[in-house]
Structure 1
Amino acid sequence: MSASDLSTSGPVTRHVVAETLREEASVWLFVVKTLIAFFLTGWIAMRLDLPAPSTAMLTTIIVANRQAGMVLAKSFYRALGTLAGATAAVGIVAAFPQQRDLFLLALSLWIGICAGGATLYRNFKSYAFVLGGYTAAIVAIPVIENPPGVFDSATARISEVLLGLLVSGVVSDVIFPSRMRDVLRRTARDQFAHFVAFVRDSTGGAIPRESMEKAHLRFVCAAVSLEDLRSSVIFEDAEARARSHHLRLFNQRFMAASTSFQSLHHLINRLKRAHRDATASLLIRLYAPLGAALDAPIEAGAAARVLLPRLAAARETMRDNTGPLRDTLGDTQDLRDFDTGAALLLRFVDELHDYVDAAATLQAPRVIAASAERVRFDRGNDFLGAGIATVRTTLTMLVLGAFWIGSAWPMGSSAMLLATVFAGLFATTPNPTRVTWLVMLGYLSGMVAGFVCEFFVLTQLDGYGLLVVGVAPFLAVGLVMMMTQRFASYGLGWAMGFAYILALKNVQTYDPSHFINDAIAQVVGLGAAAVSFVVIPPAIGSAWLRRRQLARLRGQVALAAEAPLPGLRHRFESVNHDLVSQVVAQTEPGSADSRALIAWALAVHETGRALIELRHDMARRELPATLRPYLEDALGTLSRFYEKPDARGYLLARDAVATAIASVGEHDGVAHLLEHLHLVRMALLDGESILAAYMPDAPLGKEIAHAS
């Protein structure tokens, strides 16, 4: 080994050791904080003489997270779901106090609706629906023989859950808190730095399509991750709440700028492939001042503010250079290509300036008054997939309810409760069958540990202090596993199974037969949830849903062509990014489905934005009556082709756009419309895009063609 190897291996080794120790410290800090919250909640619940302290204690495990913001966000939505579920339980019991069949039907339908609602949302909004479902079951099922007790049951459940949430929130926020705001700031800073650097490094020429596809995925993930973090951090940090609107605006401007950036480089690539090197070279020359403007230390805290005047100067230089560069061209087609590229480049510079301006606002030490521009991040939800989750969960509850009534099984309520919890909890995961079985194995292990703890440890101890000493080692095993990627589901099952079966309360009872019967019922409930995912497979992660999501993605072109213009840019960008992120999360990287998704996403982004800009220009001024039908026909034909792509639809769309271009050329004062139409036409004629599969002379054997 050389001296240089020795000199470099030392720092690398120290870095690896430091990162390992830091990760281990983070895991054990999480374990200790969760144990503190668990036992402190139990002590308070017992001092207050709540009916089921174990419910409050279990709540601390369910909302446990390393980040304080995540705990607070999850607690907020858990509280909402608990209140909604308790209210629904009171209503159902009041409506059917003596009709057990109708009671179970109504309860099953409510739980199913909540499971379906959970699939329509991401993050902890989804969790609120899950809680709304199984809280109703937890409140209503125990009082099925005593309907007047439903109010007491609801009050107790709410009190226990809110106590667990309060203690978890305080512990996570006071004891060595790990702030989500730091993660949010780092994410926003990285998004800004990486995008600006990518734009700066690309000003020298074209970007290969493969690189552009990878960049597009990075842009999508960055935008969705930032929105997910923003929606959680607002619970933790007052400054984040005050800057929430600015963060949304920052993210929306990032999505708009990244779409225009991709369109610009697709155009340059097409010109190069068509051997129109003169036009491509002129556009790259026109592009050059932007690279010089962005050549600044973007990692510095004041980077955005420093870049603003540089970008403004570059924009003026580019506008001044447009005319002289254009005059060097003589061919009509070259002039049209240059005009299209120059207009797109100047639009991108404007959007990049707006994005940097939003970044400068975020970096300001004081919160600046919110902009008049109001934006929101719309999601691409699939209501049919939610309907499948509703049907599956409802049927599972009905089958278990019928078995309970028919068999008069004393522990049937426990089975229904566990089935309710896990049928809703894992309805939103891509592979719920596997996850449920892993959790069930962990749950079984946790119950075995609970048996050992209850009958061989707790029976030898007296007092709450010794109870903590006896229970903590068993629970810590599950919490540690929850923090490992490989055993996270198993660890969650262990911790929940151990805490649930232990059922700690003021006067602890030691009844082995009841313990074993309850454990069997819980296993039956878990098994029923797992079987339900096999009998009625979930839509999430399925090829069927991916086809629907791709169809919805293509349908975004129809949205761009037909939806009302106010707020359309923001809606188009956010829904596109959310749909792409959903399919990316559910497909194997590099697979045919993944490549099809990326290819369609690039085509939809480019064409959709061009149509939106075209419609905005059409709305700004009065158009000749003879021109508007051709433009509207092009819009309608394009939207129909993207909704149901085929070779015939492609030819109709191509010809409709060509006719619209010819019609615009016959009228004065509307030449600006040509820039958008020509960009759409170039996208339609791109032999390397997904649309090549529908061209008359193109090979149809591309792997990505099947996605249509």
Structure 2
Amino acid sequence: MKRQHLIQQTSDPRGGWPPVLRATAAAVRDWATGDGLVWLHLFKTVTAALLALGIAMLLDLQQPRTAMTTVFVLMQPFSGMVLAKSFYRIIGTAVGAIAALVLGAVFVQQPELYLLGLTCWVGACTAAAVRYRHFRWYGFVLAGYTAALIGIPAVTEPNSLFLAALTRAAEVAVGIVCSSAVSALIMPQRSALALQRTLRNRYLDFTAFAAQVLSGKVERGVFEGRFADLVDEIVGFEATRTFAAFEDPGMRSRSGRLARLNSEFMDACARLHALHQLLKRLRASGASPVVDATLPYFEALSALLIRQNAQTADASHAVRAAVELRIFQSMLPRSVRQTRRPLEASAPDLLADFDTSAELLYRFVEELIRYTETYASLEHRKPEKERQTVRYVSKTNGVVVGLTFLRTVVVMAIVGCFWIETDWPSGGLAVIGAALACALTSTAPNASKLTLQMAVGAVFATMVGYLFTCYVYPNIDGFPLLCATLAPVLAFGAFVAMRPGISGYGVGFSVFFCLLAGPDNVVIYQPDLLINNGMAIVAAMLVAALAFAVIFPAHMPWLIGKIKGSLRSQVVLACKGELRGLNQYFQSSTHDLMAQLRVLLTKPSREHRDALRWMLMTVEVGHAVIDLRNEAAHAAYAEGLHPRWSTCLEQMNGAIAALFEQPTPRRLERVLTSMRETIGTVQAVLETVHADRERRHDLQRMLGCLHFIRTALLDKDAPFNAR
């Protein structure tokens, strides 16, 4: 007994602690994983900024404040995010410096043409940033406004352009090195660990959600909202996977496996959605015999997922879960055949619904097994090399890209023309501010609101900068005292920048305090210049905010319609695209487009529901069309068994593509007519090859796909039927 008690105490060292100490330890642990991380990020940000300032001063660079500004733009909670942004910032800075030099060489002593070329360059880079998002966005943005930062001050002094480019690159490099070193060496927060937690939580959440859907306990509105959240998770996972590869060699070696895992997760989500939609339609149509016949299988799978979800989702559990799912899958065919026989005798007209339900269940279980097995394989120390590369494809509507270019050019042209016509001494800084506003808000859901917040932050930065210039800098001596006075101000800006909803104030304050009032090696007492520069920055921000709100508002109905048109065109891609790699391209680009709509339509509204239903219909029909085309390619022997085999399939695919290009009742009727003919053709070939079991199964799977597409198009809740 004594030994057993000793073992128990050793296994739980806190078992003998007083309740007060246990409660204190729990509170400290909660603080360390919550607010403690915020304070750690603030400490690392301020440390990196002051370190960059000191090194730039030690190297006698022209503007050490630029190195400090770079830190505030770069610092992120996870070290992988900083390394990823640093990588793209280096590339963007180099390209921007080269662009500034080329424009300066082409338009020597021609400020109007130089400004025109620079405006077009910044607009093109900002538009490319919208087209290529995630951390590539940052590289394109930097290539744009770095050219403005280097080139604008040298418009009137072209001889200093080359030296300005080299100096700017050196200052930015110091900021990059300091932010990366501090983030990676001082209590690093690994994004790889966060990614592992995300994977585990996503696996548990999805299996629990699937169990609820299969048991019929999820209402339509709840399902649509949860599926929309899955879209955000899929798109956000790609960004996390990208920067996790920068910091962890293990994650870098597993990057291909993670990409495949995300692709398989998209497939499993699509199959789950198809099952949910079919069950909803069967219940609505009164096909109770089919529902009663298939319900035991759905309930059995739901119970299996609930039992698995109650356990810890580690690698060993995932392996066991995959084995149990394989056993369930192996038992399905025989059980389904036994259930089908009495239904065939009593209600032969419902066999199509039953066969389609069974086929969708097969496919969902298969996709879930693949997802589970890939998730379990991530724990292998030496992952096998991927046989096939899986790529996540980002897709942006061309009109959105063009609109981004146009609004950037308009804002910079307005500010630039005012500068040239008035010869305002701080007009160049106003142009730089306009470029920064257009670049940093290019992917914001509400660019006007974010720009106004940055403008307010710039106002406070000017006021605090005036106090530092007039009263702080003249009364301190030495770098340690300089750090002591700057630290509270820099920490305040970084703290506000971390607050959701008001981050624009913090970004504007931190960035523009460094640019306007950051200390140089030789501090020049010019408060009037500081105020003038602050007014220029704020004026440029206000012009940009006004343009974003009046000329180019985010919630333009025609723009939302264009993106929804791009979303519908994904079905055209499914009907006519090359089959090799088509499923991955279709899934990733469809989810990416929907994520863009989710950014624009943040508030629940009729437009938001309509866009979400178009996305669900696109995934539903597009996925089924790809399945149908793959089955048809596998059943190529049917070409010689029916003269209109290829013609029917091509006409039906063309009719579906035309319907989603421009949904009209007439085109819908044409699709349904073409589908009836195609179903008749497949049934005729099925009767011919009925004795061949493999070929019979091929054609039965095709009939399942056709029947599912037909029921989807006839659904009264489909967006084109609700018009």
Structures share a fold, TM > 0.5?
yes
Alpha-carbon distance change, 486 to 345 in structure 1, aligned in 2, over 3 angstroms: closer
2:667 alignment counterpart: 649
How many residue pairs get matched? 684
1:129 alignment counterpart: 140
1:698 alignment counterpart: none
2:587 alignment counterpart: 573
Alpha-carbon distance change, 498 to 671 in structure 1, aligned in 2, over 3 angstroms: closer
1:662 alignment counterpart: 680
Q: Deviations over 1:573-620 (max 9, x none)?
A: 111211222222222443111211222222211111111111111112
Q: Deviations over 1:661-697 (max 9, x none)?
A: 122222234444211111111112222333432xxxx
Q: Displacement, 1:409? A: 2.3
Q: 1:487 aligns with which of 499, 502, 509?
A: 502
Q: 1:332 aligns with which of 342, 345, 348?
A: 348
Hey, what's the Cα distance between the residues in 1 that align with 2:453 and 2:460?
A: 11
Check the 8 A contact 1:207/1:265 in 2, yes or no: no
Check the 8 A contact 2:412/2:435 in 1, yes or no: yes
1:496 alignment counterpart: 511
Q: 2:426 aligns with which of 391, 394, 411?
A: 411
Q: Displacement, 1:486? A: 4.1
Q: Displacement, 1:479? A: 1.8
Q: 2:717 aligns with which of 688, 693, 696?
A: 688
Say whether 1:629 aligns with 2:658.
no
Q: Match for 2:644: what amino acid?
A: T
Shifted more, 276-285 versus 30-39: the winner is 276-285
Alpha-carbon distance change, 536 to 205 in structure 1, aligned in 2, over 3 angstroms: closer
Local SS of the residue matching 1:440: helix
Local SS of the residue matching 1:222: helix
Alpha-carbon distance change, 449 to 280 in structure 1, aligned in 2, over 3 angstroms: same
Q: Displacement, 1:21? A: 6.9
Q: Deviations over 1:295-332 (max 9, x none)?
A: 32253442211112211111110022122111121233
Say whether 1:182 aligns with 2:200.
no
2:296 alignment counterpart: 285
Q: Deviations over 1:167-188 (max 9, x none)?
A: 0011011112222112211111
Q: What's the C-alpha RMSD, in Å, of the aligned pairs? A: 2.3
Q: Displacement, 1:465? A: 1.1
Hey, what's the Cα distance between the residues in 2 that align with 1:211 and 1:520?
A: 49
Check the 8 A contact 1:400/1:416 in 2, yes or no: yes
Hey, what's the Cα distance between the residues in 2 that align with 1:264 and 1:606?
A: 10
1:302 alignment counterpart: 316
Check the 8 A contact 1:108/1:394 in 2, yes or no: yes
Hey, what's the Cα distance between the residues in 1 that align with 2:387 and 2:325?
A: 23
Check the 8 A contact 2:65/2:518 in 1, yes or no: yes
Alpha-carbon distance change, 508 to 589 in structure 1, aligned in 2, over 3 angstroms: closer
Local SS of the residue matching 1:692: coil
2:565 alignment counterpart: 551
Q: Displacement, 1:85? A: 0.5
Q: Match for 2:188: what amino acid?
A: P
Q: 2:329 aligns with which of 311, 315, 327?
A: 315
Hey, what's the Cα distance between the residues in 2 that align with 1:157 and 1:240?
A: 34
Shifted more, 515-524 versus 604-613: the winner is 515-524
Say whether 1:536 aligns with 2:551.
yes
Q: Match for 1:526: what amino acid?
A: M
Q: Displacement, 1:83? A: 0.9
Q: Displacement, 1:461? A: 0.8
Q: Displacement, 1:197? A: 2.3
Local SS of the residue matching 2:445: coil
Question: Which structure 2 residues correspond to residues 336-355 of structure 1 after superposition, within 5 A?
Answer: 336-355=352-371
Check the 8 A contact 1:205/1:284 in 2, yes or no: no
Alpha-carbon distance change, 11 to 136 in structure 1, aligned in 2, over 3 angstroms: same
Q: Displacement, 1:145? A: 2.9
**Identity of matched residues, %:** 33
Shifted more, 122-131 versus 314-323: the winner is 122-131
Q: 1:111 aligns with which of 111, 122, 135?
A: 122
Local SS of the residue matching 1:666: helix
Hey, what's the Cα distance between the residues in 1 that align with 2:385 and 2:103?
A: 44
Q: Match for 1:466: what amino acid?
A: L
Check the 8 A contact 2:231/2:591 in 1, yes or no: yes
2:3 alignment counterpart: none
Question: Which structure 2 residues correspond to residues 153-192 of structure 1 after superposition, within 5 A?
Answer: 153-192=164-203
Q: Deviations over 1:441-465 (max 9, x none)?
A: 1111011011101210110111111
Alpha-carbon distance change, 276 to 531 in structure 1, aligned in 2, over 3 angstroms: closer
Q: 2:379 aligns with which of 340, 363, 368?
A: 363
Q: Deviations over 1:485-511 (max 9, x none)?
A: 243211211112221111321111112
Q: Match for 2:568: what amino acid?
A: R
Hey, what's the Cα distance between the residues in 2 that align with 1:615 and 1:240?
A: 35
Q: Match for 1:26: what amino acid?
A: L
Gaps of at least 5 residues in structure 2 are 1-20, 690-698
1:231 alignment counterpart: 242
Check the 8 A contact 2:200/2:314 in 1, yes or no: no
Question: Which structure 2 residues correspond to residues 264-275 of structure 1 after superposition, within 5 A?
Answer: 264-275=275-286
Hey, what's the Cα distance between the residues in 2 that align with 1:409 and 1:657?
A: 69
Q: What TM-score results when the alignment is normalised by the length of structure 1? A: 0.92
Q: 2:34 aligns with which of 12, 15, 23?
A: 23
Check the 8 A contact 2:212/2:218 in 1, yes or no: no
Local SS of the residue matching 1:374: coil
1:673 alignment counterpart: 702
Alpha-carbon distance change, 219 to 535 in structure 1, aligned in 2, over 3 angstroms: closer
Alpha-carbon distance change, 261 to 535 in structure 1, aligned in 2, over 3 angstroms: closer
Q: Displacement, 1:233? A: 1.5
Q: 2:625 aligns with which of 581, 588, 611?
A: 611
Say whether 1:260 aligns with 2:267.
no
Alpha-carbon distance change, 206 to 455 in structure 1, aligned in 2, over 3 angstroms: closer
Check the 8 A contact 1:77/1:127 in 2, yes or no: yes
Local SS of the residue matching 2:132: coil
Q: Deviations over 1:195-254 (max 9, x none)?
A: 122233444457543343233223212212211211221122211111111111001001
Local SS of the residue matching 1:548: helix
Hey, what's the Cα distance between the residues in 1 that align with 2:448 and 2:35?
A: 31
Local SS of the residue matching 2:62: coil
Alpha-carbon distance change, 103 to 256 in structure 1, aligned in 2, over 3 angstroms: same
Check the 8 A contact 1:458/1:470 in 2, yes or no: no
Q: Match for 1:154: what amino acid?
A: A
Shifted more, 396-405 versus 608-617: the winner is 396-405
Q: Match for 1:247: what amino acid?
A: L
Q: Displacement, 1:12? A: 11
Hey, what's the Cα distance between the residues in 1 that align with 2:376 and 2:331?
A: 22
Hey, what's the Cα distance between the residues in 1 that align with 2:649 and 2:26?
A: 61
2:453 alignment counterpart: 438
